[in-house]
Chains A and B, each alone.
Chain A
Amino acid sequence: MADSQKPVTTIKSPVAIHYNYSIGAGQSTFMRAIHEGRILGSRCPDTGKVYVPPRLTSVETASPMTELVELPDRGVVYTYCIVNIKFYDQVLEIPYAYAYIVLDGADSAIMHLIQECPIKEIRPGMRVQAVWKDRAQWTESLENIRYFKPTGEPDLPIEKIMSEIRKKSYA
């Protein structure tokens, strides 16, 4: 017999729902290109801003974006964070760093890892370039880029870059 005073604190009720997600036309363009080692963005016809990955319509003006722009695999750190906490299924050893990187010629940042450099040296304005997996391992994934590493070039003034991007904003 169950204890009438004892609170029921746990039940087990497993739930599994599977999804086949559609990433859409804009991101599909990005994925097909990255499979070949190319990074694509799209240009807003109203502001000239280049978005990475490409989208079908401008985030700021809703106009169709039909012009695709190929971008280099190097850029500049806009901002970064250091992961210091452990969690289940963690692949990387802590501490490690994630950064938002503005590729040269882009007006939006992509997120990626920064490695091959002491964490203390990561800073906004630092020039970085992509380190790719072996070509044979490329798939339709941003993980074709293992991480970004410093190029050793002089820093760029990030506030100047961001203010140039802000100036393009449609108001």
Chain B
Amino acid sequence: MREVAIIAFGQTPNRRREVHHNDAEMVAPVVADVLKEVGLSRRDVDFTCSGSSDFLAGYSFSWTMAIDALGAWPPIQESHVEGEAAWALYETWVKMLGHEEIDVALVYGFGRQSMTSPRDVMVLMNDPYLETPLWPDAISQAALQARALLDAGLCTEHDFAEIAVRNLRHAESNPLAQLSGRFNPDELLKTPTIASPLRKHDCPPITDGACAILLAAGDRARKLCKRPAWIRSLAHRIDVQALGRRDLTRSRSARLAAEAVGAIGRHFDIAELHAPFTPQDWILQREFELSKDTVLNPSGGIHQGNPMMGTGLVRFGEVAARIIRSEADRGLAHATQGPCLQQNMVGVLEGE
């Protein structure tokens, strides 16, 4: 089987609002950066795949506008997932395993939450007949999950605050981070709730941004990058949609994906978890059985920035970048989409 590696990663600074540039203008410099990093031109890219959402962009077929960023002439081989760009990474990885004609591939994702209310847009993911009319917004749904954890006696609001404190502390060393700083969990717990029991620090920031990853196969990867971050395995699983049919204190799909890639019981130097809300970070740690010395979210995780539809791909990029820079040898990258960790992807990345 072919080996496929991440050889470059780039992202825009995470901003609360990108008002000056449109989607294509956000994507263009990031794509230019990753190509420059490994000394390739756009013509060296054999396949391109992206992830985004028309519901966030506010117009249909919004991804076709982003193609303007690529210099797609003569016409290129391209695909798109209407959702989190980590799934565009998955599609590309599968294609590269089986198609020898793809040596180098570009994966990118972008989202601008500031143009609308993401809390409301996410309502449209639900059952349109029974749930959407009740308008269960994204934060309220996450609060249902948090409440289920607390009532089961599994963890406390202090545990949630500590997750935020850890992410924000790690984000201090990330120059592109939207939020960062030193906080005290006890002080955070004195702040008001947004949707009880969730407070502001438990929720993801609203971010506008774009990110891109370059993939290369086998010796091409070794030639282009001193230390490629090899994707040893990648798997995704999905839970049923209705929250009422799920045990919200667990994420069975996350566990199964982790089992499928052989992550359980394995040591990881670092792990980047795509947990939009702090209780979900707690659930993922439990499902993945990560060891105590694994550094969680060295980038700052969700608090670093949440360019929705790119946030999961950033997790893969942050793990890969640390392997490429020899700061880590093996890392776990996780991405999610859907309410309350409905759909989950887990990847194992390693340096040689």
Residues of chain A whose beta carbon lies under 8 Å from any beta carbon of chain B: 11, 13, 15, 17-28, 55-63, 169-171
Nearest B residue (CB) for A62: B71
Known: A22-B115, A57-B28, A171-B74. A15 touches B124 (CB 8 A): yes
B21 near A13: Cβ-Cβ < 8 Å: no
Write out the residue numbers on chain A whose beta carbons fall within 8 Å of the beta carbon of B71: 57-63
Which of B31, B74, B116, B124 contacts A19 (CB under 8 A)?
B116
B264 at the interface (CB under 8 A from A): no
16 A-B pairs, CB-CB below 8 angstroms? A11-B129, A13-B129, A20-B114, A21-B59, A22-B20, A22-B112, A24-B22, A25-B22, A26-B22, A26-B25, A27-B22, A57-B68, A59-B68, A59-B72, A60-B72, A61-B73
Q: Please, which residues of chain A bring their CB within 8 A of the CB of B32?
A: 62
- Please determine whether A62 and B133 come into contact, CB atoms closer than 8 angstroms: no
* Interface membership of B225, Cβ < 8 A: no
Q: How far is the CA of A39 from the CA of B106 in the complex (A)?
A: 35
Closest to B132 in A: A13
- In the bound assembly, the distance between CA atoms of A20 and B69 in angstroms comes to 22
Report Cα–Cα, A63/B23, bound state, in Å. 17
Cβ–Cβ < 8 Å partners of A170 in chain B? 73
With the chains together, A18 CA to B4 CA distance in Å? Answer: 41
Secondary structure dominating the interface of A: loop
- Size range of the interface on B? 20 to 34
The answer to whether B28 touches A62 (Cβ under 8 A) is yes
Q: Find B70's partner among A15, A22, A62 (CB 8 Å cutoff).
A: A62
Contacts A24-B20, A62-B42; A13 near B69 (Cβ below 8 A): no
Interface residues of B (CB under 8 A from A): 18-25, 28, 31-32, 42, 55, 58-59, 68-74, 112, 114-117, 120-121, 124, 128-129, 132-133
Q: Which residues of A contact B24 (CB under 8 A)?
A: 24, 55-57
Known: A20-B115, A25-B20. 9 other contacts (CB 8 A): A15-B124, A19-B115, A22-B21, A22-B115, A26-B22, A56-B25, A57-B25, A169-B73, A171-B73
Q: Tell whether A21 pairs with B115 under 8 Å between CB atoms, given A56-B28, A62-B42.
A: yes
A30 to chain B, nearest CB (A): 12
What residues on A are CB-neighbors of B55 within 8 Å? 17
- Tell me if B133 and A11 are in contact (CB < 8 A): yes
Of all chain A residues, the one with the shortest Cβ separation from B70 is A62
A24 to B21, CA, bound (A): 4
CB closest residue in chain B, given A55: B68
B128 — nearest CB in chain A belongs to which residue? A13
CA of A55 to CA of B65, assembled, Å: 12
Residues of B close to A28: CB separation below 8 A = 20
Cα–Cα, bound, A27→B19 (Å): 12
Closest 3 CB pairs of A and B: A62-B71, A24-B22, A19-B58
Are B69 and A23 in contact (CB-based, < 8 A)?
A: no
Give complex CA distance A24, B112 in Å: 12
Q: How far is the CB of B210 from chain A (nearest CB, A)?
A: 13
Residue of B nearest to A11 (CB): B129
The chain A residue sitting closest to B71, CB to CB, is A62
Check if A22 sits within 8 Å of B28, measured CB to CB: no
Give the chain B neighbours of A169 by CB distance below 8 A: 73
**CB distance A21 to B58 under 8 Å?**
yes
**CB-based contact B129/A17 at 8 Å:** no
A21 to B25, CA, bound (A): 14
Kindly report which residue of chain A lies nearest to residue B74, judged by CB atoms: A171
Report the minimal beta-carbon distance from B137 to chain A, rounded to whole angstroms.
12
Distance of A69 from chain B, by nearest CB (Å): 18
- Which residues of the partner chain B approach A27 to less than 8 Å between Cβ atoms? 22
Cα A76 to Cα B72 with chains together (Å): 27
CA distance A13 to B22 in the complex (A): 31
Expressed in whole angstroms, the minimum distance between the Cβ of B20 and any Cβ of chain A is 6
Q: Are A17 and B121 interface neighbours, CB within 8 A?
A: yes
B69 touches A62 (CB 8 A): yes
B43 CB to nearest A CB, Å: 10
Measured in the bound complex, the distance between the Cα atoms of B120 and A22 in whole Å is 19
Across-interface contacts of B25 in A (CB, < 8 A): 24-26, 56-57
Q: Would A15 and B132 count as touching, CB distance under 8 A?
A: yes
Q: How far, in angstroms, from A17 to B117 measured CA to CA in the complex?
A: 8
User: Who on chain B is nearest to A28 by CB?
Assistant: B20
Check A60–B21 contact: CB distance below 8 A.
no
Q: In the complex, which residues of chain A have a beta carbon less than 8 angstroms from the beta carbon of B115?
A: 19-22
Residues of A contacting B58 in the complex (Cβ-Cβ under 8 angstroms) = 17, 19, 21
